[in-house]
Structure 1
Amino acid sequence: MAFREFDQPQVSRRSLLRGGLLLGAGTALAGVPLGRQLMAHGHAASWPAIRATVESYVAEGKVANMLATMGWGQNDPEVIARGVLTLGRNVPADQDSLYRIYSMTKPITGIAAMMLVEDGKLALDQPLAEILPAYANMMVQKEYDGGIGEGDLVPAERPITIRQLLTHTAGLGYGIIQKGPIRAAYEERGLVPGQVSRVPIPGLGRAQAVGSLEAFANGLAKVPLVLQPGAKWSYSVSLDLLGRVIEVASGQSFDAFLKARLFDPLGMTSTFFRVPESEQGRFTTNYGILNGMPLPIDPADSSIYLDEPAFPFGGAGLVSSPRDYDRFQRMLVGGGALEGTRVMAEATVRLATSNLLPEGAETVATWVAGEGFGAGGRVTGTAFGWGGAAGTAAFVDMASGLRAALFTQYMPSEAYPIQRGFPDLVMQDLAAMKGA
């Protein structure tokens, strides 16, 4: 279909790109006894509620494909997959298909930073300015999303810390969230840590991103904060900035660090910032939902993810396969190890997946109201996870060893209730198992 059918889309820049998985308040999930019992008996659940939902979404033409991976501990996952990579082409989606995971990149970046905490090269409450001196004397908007002139700003009351970057409490903004002069400043300076399509999409900025993480970090330091550091949870570019922190602290490029310390040791051979030409045949198409109809906004064979990104986006830049992301999750519930390979200490994993919010940070009227936040992901009870802007979702429950992930490709994520409702479907099936 011609792209001009998107001339009047009912989506906003904010809704198109944001990707916050909402883990419901009950998502301490399976409960330790149930999880251990099912793992001990090698139970292979049919996950009927999840299976029925996946089947209905594809059968009704809402999405081209949908896939869920459900696993316990170190057992192989049960894979529920329906649909094709691209509508009109008969290539089925499977565990090795490639998906834009967008903000599900954030927990990966957060865990990478925690590896450097374990190495002694970073500390949670270390001032960011010790790593990046440009952040030593930050200014803050007097009024959230207000002016950015000299008279509109006040000095930061306290330094930005690594903990704040991990938990979206550093006071940084986000071009997909902010409004007014601050958003314009991000675009003018190329502080654009994400991508959607080669094709112009109405309502979505087309600013050219700066060409490196170093340039991104330096540019961001010259823009005022939107909130005082440590004051409030506010979705931000902090995980993208952490990519630069990781580079400086480790002495490696951010993408090289991820490959050497996480992807290669864990056998995550299908996780990329750029999809190699050789792997294009298993790449999905991303769709925009307009009046209930999926229309291609980033076709697999002409995707922007086939191009080299301006820099590796630690907040929303990765493409991965369900198999790979499950291996990342298996490492988490395995306490830092997978198949005999240890990438980090169990104590570090436990800390990373626990509530790291700074004392006093406000969460009222935010996406994480009444909950916690760890190293790039929401913490609800013993569950840790996040979602992506194209409808993906993933979490682990550290007490029971449950791994759960959902993969599909549509925008905006709230066009359908599946991402928000995925944890509820998991709970529904777990309750049925418990009663069986």
Structure 2
Amino acid sequence: MAAIKAERKLCLHPARPRRHILKGACRKLLCSDARWCRDEKIPLCKAAKMYRVHGGDGHVVTSQRHSKVRQLPTPLRASVLKVGALQVPKKQDTSNVVQVARGLISLTSRSCPTVAGLNAQVMKETDELLHQKVSSGEAPGVISVVLRHGVLAHMDSYGYADLERQVPMRPDTIVRLYSMTKCIVSVALGICLEEGLVQLDDPVYKFVPEFAEVQVKSEDGNVMPANKPVTVLQLLTHTSGIGYGPMLGDEPECEAEERFLALIQRASLGRTSPNDVRAVRSLEHWCQELAKIPLQHQPGAQWLYSYSHDVVGRIIEVATGRNLDAFLAERITQPLGMVDTGFEIPRSKWHRTAAMYRFHEDGEFKQRLVRIDAPSVEANEWIVGNASPILSGGGSVDSMTGGMVSTAADYARFCLMLLRKGELDGTRILTSETVDLLCSNQLPTASGREDTWAFGTPGVGFGPVGSVSVKHPALEEALRPGEYGWGGMAGTAWTNDPDEDMVLLSFSLVAFDLSTEEVLRAGVRKAIAAFKQ
């Protein structure tokens, strides 16, 4: 998908830095190590970081703690993955494929790469590469899922979801979606479009009045009124000019990040000290405060990754009269059978909850994984009673938490719904026309220019659910026109390729790392090519 590849291009494992710069108001560097910059004069920002990863199977591996880890086969609960009607290639063994009608495929079922048109040996080699990442200590565990032509073509889980508790990684492991929450919120906005509650050209101030008089602060420090209202479409395509602050408790690396710091701290108080008078305790209050912070560029002037989808979440609340979590559950996650997807985790599901890790420098150029979420059910930031009261539709509004949680089993169903043009297992979420709108490049409409690209990369467009690869002479070879998808800060990623009738989904638990997604993506493309030969 254009989205994932664009971010993969910009945000890589520290061991293999590349020099790519986002042409934003602050020239944000999208790289896991912000020291790598081809122009030292450009101020560095991590504000627009995104990530993805994938992987695994079940054998003895060596973790970064130098202990022997045996990943045992673990039966899932009632968690199943349902796919649409299946077109099975002729003259192939279909004995292991559950197909047609309701299209039930259990995630404990045997995958069928050959029936799906993938070379089995190449996929085995891909698994070995992913397992090596766990063995070498680059990731605690990985999950990869490939669905093609309605077949579970590949499903692999390997390593640990929680090193400290030695919880094995499984397809029903609950992970943090962060920015992959945006995709679900965009679908919710699509429902509002269909019901006439919202229009793409509506000004944001129609729903959040505080956006009626937004200011713009340029790189040279000049402050001026916005030359036109921010629209709903500009929020959905990250052309609003809002921008992002520092993530995961990092210090701001430029003034454009620093301007969000006070709001991030106040949002954190809403979770940790809700009785503090400075605390921000609701999405409504957060959006009111966000509108006071100057935009980084005029609305529609360029693409800049931002808090825009958090504002979209508030628009949905105002338009529907429902809290964001309730509306998403009623109209999307419950109808799709996404039983583990929501804004917080019940204590009863703690045994399936993944930890979250991040690389920290330990001496000269030496990296080690460090856990960054609380290791106990009493203190963990996503457990019911501890979670943020601000329902972040964009992924994160405080110094640590935000967005939804989900599983590979759940999110695969969401991806399949989009691939099947808004319907899955007899349940229709959106019309096919709305899906086409959400999954196509909307940057020319949002900006009024044909040369506006996500990350400043020609061929990488952007639609409401994520980045979209567009046919262009400069489009990178690894990207395919028409594919779309997105990823999240905790090493999660998905891609839909309509031409290949394929979903790629991967989860890892390492912040700011895309290298695992690179391995899976390259392996699947190679497996398709090898099968055709």
With normalisation by structure 2, the TM-score equals 0.68
1:133 Cα offset (Å)? 2.3
Partner secondary structure for residue 404 of structure 1? strand
| Counterpart AA for 1:408 | S
Q: Is the 8 A contact 2:144 2:506 kept in 1?
A: yes
Give the Cα–Cα distance (whole angstroms) in 1 for the partners of residues 309 and 246 of structure 2. Answer: 14
The equivalent residue for 2:193 is 117
1:234 Cα offset (Å)? 0.3
Match of 2:459 among 346, 370, 383: 370
Cα distance 1:368–1:392, how it changes in 2: closer, same or farther (>3 A)? farther
Q: Is the 8 A contact 1:191 1:216 kept in 2?
A: no
1:15-414 matched pairs, under 5 angstroms: 15=46, 18-19=49-50, 43-44=115-116, 45=118, 46=120, 47-76=123-152, 78-87=154-163, 89-141=165-217, 143-144=218-219, 146-147=220-221, 152-176=222-246, 180-190=254-264, 210-290=280-360, 291-301=366-376, 302-306=379-383, 307-316=386-395, 317-357=403-443, 358=446, 359-360=448-449, 363=452, 366=455, 368-380=457-469, 381-413=481-513
1:69 Cα offset (Å)? 0.8
Cα distance 1:93–1:324, how it changes in 2: closer, same or farther (>3 A)? same
Give the Cα–Cα distance (whole angstroms) in 2 for the partners of residues 193 and 427 of structure 1. Answer: 42
Q: Is the 8 A contact 1:190 1:210 kept in 2?
A: no
Give the Cα–Cα distance (whole angstroms) in 1 for the partners of residues 483 and 427 of structure 2. Answer: 23
Give the Cα–Cα distance (whole angstroms) in 2 for the partners of residues 340 and 285 of structure 1. Answer: 35
Cα distance 1:275–1:87, how it changes in 2: closer, same or farther (>3 A)? same
By relative contact order (CA 8 Å, sep 6+), the higher-ranking structure is 1
Q: Is the 8 A contact 1:354 1:374 kept in 2?
A: yes
Q: Is the 8 A contact 1:67 1:94 kept in 2?
A: yes
Q: Does 1:434 align with 2:532?
A: yes
Give the Cα–Cα distance (whole angstroms) in 1 for the partners of residues 134 and 468 of structure 2. Answer: 30
Give the Cα–Cα distance (whole angstroms) in 2 for the partners of residues 303 and 329 of structure 1. Answer: 28
| Counterpart AA for 2:262 | E
1:239 Cα offset (Å)? 0.8
Deviations 1:235-282 (A, max 9, x none): 100011111011011111111111011000000011121111010000
| Counterpart AA for 2:191 | M
Cα distance 1:427–1:313, how it changes in 2: closer, same or farther (>3 A)? same
Partner secondary structure for residue 399 of structure 1? helix
1:180 Cα offset (Å)? 4.3
| CA RMSD across the alignment | 2.9
Give the Cα–Cα distance (whole angstroms) in 1 for the partners of residues 357 and 164 of structure 2. Answer: 13
Identity %: 32
The number of residue pairs the alignment matches comes to: 396
Deviations 1:339-370 (A, max 9, x none): 11111111111111011112317546826543
**In terms of mean alpha carbon deviation, does 229-238 or 68-77 score higher?**
68-77
With normalisation by structure 1, the TM-score equals 0.83
Cα distance 1:126–1:17, how it changes in 2: closer, same or farther (>3 A)? closer
Partner secondary structure for residue 382 of structure 2? helix
Q: Is the 8 A contact 1:74 1:334 kept in 2?
A: no
1:50 Cα offset (Å)? 3.2
| Counterpart AA for 2:195 | D
Q: Is the 8 A contact 1:62 1:292 kept in 2?
A: no
Give the Cα–Cα distance (whole angstroms) in 2 for the partners of residues 181 and 11 of structure 1. Answer: 19
Give the Cα–Cα distance (whole angstroms) in 2 for the partners of residues 125 and 254 of structure 1. Answer: 21
Match of 2:523 among 420, 425, 435: 425
Q: Is the 8 A contact 1:191 1:210 kept in 2?
A: no
- In structure 1, runs of 5+ residues without a counterpart are 1-9, 23-34, 199-207
Cα distance 1:77–1:118, how it changes in 2: closer, same or farther (>3 A)? farther
| Counterpart AA for 2:449 | G
**In terms of mean alpha carbon deviation, does 162-171 or 83-92 score higher?**
83-92
Give the Cα–Cα distance (whole angstroms) in 1 for the partners of residues 47 and 216 of structure 2. Answer: 27
1:40 Cα offset (Å)? 10
Q: Is the 8 A contact 2:178 2:490 kept in 1?
A: yes
Q: Is the 8 A contact 2:126 2:519 kept in 1?
A: no
1:309 Cα offset (Å)? 0.9
Give the Cα–Cα distance (whole angstroms) in 2 for the partners of residues 336 and 364 of structure 1. Answer: 26
The equivalent residue for 1:25 is none
Give the Cα–Cα distance (whole angstroms) in 2 for the partners of residues 327 and 266 of structure 1. Answer: 7
Cα distance 1:65–1:123, how it changes in 2: closer, same or farther (>3 A)? same
Q: Is the 8 A contact 1:284 1:300 kept in 2?
A: no
| Counterpart AA for 1:188 | A
Give the Cα–Cα distance (whole angstroms) in 1 for the partners of residues 346 and 302 of structure 2. Answer: 39
| Counterpart AA for 2:427 | T
Give the Cα–Cα distance (whole angstroms) in 1 for the partners of residues 91 and 317 of structure 2. Answer: 42
Greater helix proportion: 1
